[in-house]
């Protein structure tokens, strides 16, 4: 069961954000996070790969960071490619760094994290893929 969002809500988010951190970024070309990062870059977003196991390496010619707070630039949107049990901590980190949007990829629904982020003023999207939304 997919969560419904007005098209305008998703479009507004994707039109307003400029910088996106991809938490759970992978250097493996067949992984969804890699494909989504590639699409975001092609659509003009500045992307920050986040993965402690890939830290210091490059993914898509971008420096990979170990955590959100290691990025020294403003991050508008945090896109989550992690398991359900990691989402709450990522939401707390997104709030701490001043992100404007918390986006959970397809298959990720975490109402408690969404409520926390919403209460802190972030817009939240669950169970959606920004790459797919961009091609609509």
Q: Is 31 a domain residue?
A: yes
In a domain, 1, yes or no: no
Over its C-alpha atoms, the chain yields an Rg (Å, rounded) of 13
The DSSP secondary-structure symbol of 90 reads H
Total domain count, the chain: 1
CA quadruple 41, 44, 48, 50: dihedral positive or negative? Answer: negative
In this structure, is residue 84 part of a structural domain? yes
Residue 111 belongs to a domain with what CATH number?
3.40.50.720
pLDDT in tens, 4-15: 899 999 999 999
Asked if the structure places residue 124 within a domain, the reply is: yes
Domain contains 61: yes
Angle formed at CA 98 by CA 95 and CA 103, multiple of 5 degrees: 60
pLDDT of residue 1 exceeding 60, the answer is: no
Within a domain: 64: yes
Give the residue carrying structure tokens 């067949």.
30
Residue 44 tokens read as 């003009």
Residue 2 lies in a domain: no
Range of the domain at 72: 7-134
Per-residue pLDDT reduced to its tens digit, 43-69: 999 999 999 999 989 999 999 999 999
pTM here is 0.96
- The band of 2, judged by pLDDT with boundaries at 50, 70 and 90, is low
* Within a domain: 56: yes
């Amino acid at each position: 069961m997919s969560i419904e969002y007005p098209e305008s809500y998703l479009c507004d988010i994707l039109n307003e954000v400029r910088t996106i951190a991809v938490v759970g970024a992978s250097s493996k070309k067949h992984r969804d996070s890699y494909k989504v990062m590639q699409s975001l870059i092609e659509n003009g977003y500045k992307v920050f790969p986040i993965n402690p196991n890939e830290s210091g390496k490059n993914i898509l010619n971008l420096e990979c960071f170990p955590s959100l707070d290691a990025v020294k630039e403003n991050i508008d949107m945090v896109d989550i490619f992690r398991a359900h049990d990691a989402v709450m901590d990522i939401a707390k980190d997104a709030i701490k760094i001043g992100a404007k949007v918390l986006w959970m990829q397809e298959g990720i629904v975490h109402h408690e994290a969404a409520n926390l982020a919403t209460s802190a003023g972030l817009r939240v999207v669950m169970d959606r893929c920004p790459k797919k939304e961009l091609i609509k």
